[in-house]
Amino acid sequence: MLFKQQALLRQKLFVLGSLAIGSLLYLVARVGSLDRLQPLCPIDGRFGPRGQGEIPLRALQFKRGLLHEFRKGNATKEQIRLHNLVQQLPKAIIIGVRKGGTRALLEMLNLHPAVVKASQEIHFFDNDENYAKGIEWYRKKMPFSYPHQITIEKSPAYFITEEVPERIYKMNSSIKLLIIVREPTTRAISDYTQVLEGKERKNKTYYKFEKLAIDPNTCEVNTKYKAVRTSIYTKHLERWLKYFPIEQFHIVDGDRLITEPLPELQLVEKFLNLPPRISQYNLYFNATRGFYCLRFNIVFNKCLAGSKGRIHPEVDTSVITKLRKFFHPFNQKFYQITGRTFNWP
């Protein structure tokens, strides 16, 4: 009798187990189907008034998978057509500044499911040879995206190159322009550090920062040194303002992006008229690296390259003081023009 009861119990457990496995397989298939179908539905209409609404995480996961394959060139023209993918000209460009955090900003904005980034610096507008190839060449350098997404590229040389503002204006006079800045003296030293590292890799010698930043004949700041010139933000911005109103620029605090990235990213979302999607979940502090890394989902995390966050060489304090005094009036004018004040010395 006991044997029959045990056999009956095993049979019931088998049936229940089969039903459970069947239900699980159905759910997996159903979710997979939704993942495939979700991005084909335009999401603009779901944002609602003032950018409210939800973009499912599935759309983000889909973007990281399928679009990545297309970017690697593993898609046929028919696949691209069926998935309604296009190569769009950028609707926003991170134009600078060098060593201000342009790569970090681009990667962080790519957390947003409505943003697609150009992985490489295109150098279209600042390079005469590239520019001569025409706007269609530039478009073909852009990543594949869905029509509702916006493409963003970054080339920090754009900010300081004289021809660039007019060239971008001719492409799109209403484009949104992002400038990320850091405290000017710190940025100049960071600029020097990157060049120094490149020289050391080639076993070449290089001048100390103090010798480059200070004119030995006058003992004043050497304005011919490129790292110094780049940090005079207002001089470059004034050239851009000949073509674009200040409302088309957004200034990002590069120092704050390092220590407290989320508020800065939320300001950019608002500037780009994107619904708020980047949250604290997407950003986590990596104690080993010493800065924030990115979390796209439960399985995909990303930190910036090891070349980011280089240790700066020690610089004579008197030179730092002299540089900060030199930059001060330019900084004040920059605050006045942009309407954003920073706690720079």
Bind-site residues for 3'-phosphoadenylyl sulfate:
99-103, 182, 190, 292, 308-312
> Of residues 99, 154, 176, 322, which has the active-site annotation?
99
First to last CA, the chain: 89
Binding-site positions read 99-103, 182, 190, 292, 308-312
Q: Which one, of 170, 10, 16, 142, lies nearest residue 86 by Cα?
A: 142
Assess whether 99 carries a catalytic annotation.
yes
Q: Give the residue ranges of DSSP H helices in 176-316.
A: 184-201, 209-213, 226-230, 233-240, 254-259, 261-271
Cα–Cα–Cα angle for 121, 125, 131, nearest 5°?
A: 105
- The span from the CA of 300 to the CA of 92, in Å, is 26
- The span from the CA of 315 to the CA of 336, in Å, is 30
HSE at residue 127, side-chain half, CA atoms within 13 A, is 12
b (16+ CB within 10 A) / e for 88-106: bebbbbbbbbbbbbbbbbb
CB within 8 A of 255, min separation 6: which ones? 182, 183, 186, 342
DSSP H or E stretch at residue 94: strand 92-96
- The span from the CA of 39 to the CA of 63, in Å, is 8
Catalytic residues, which ones? 99
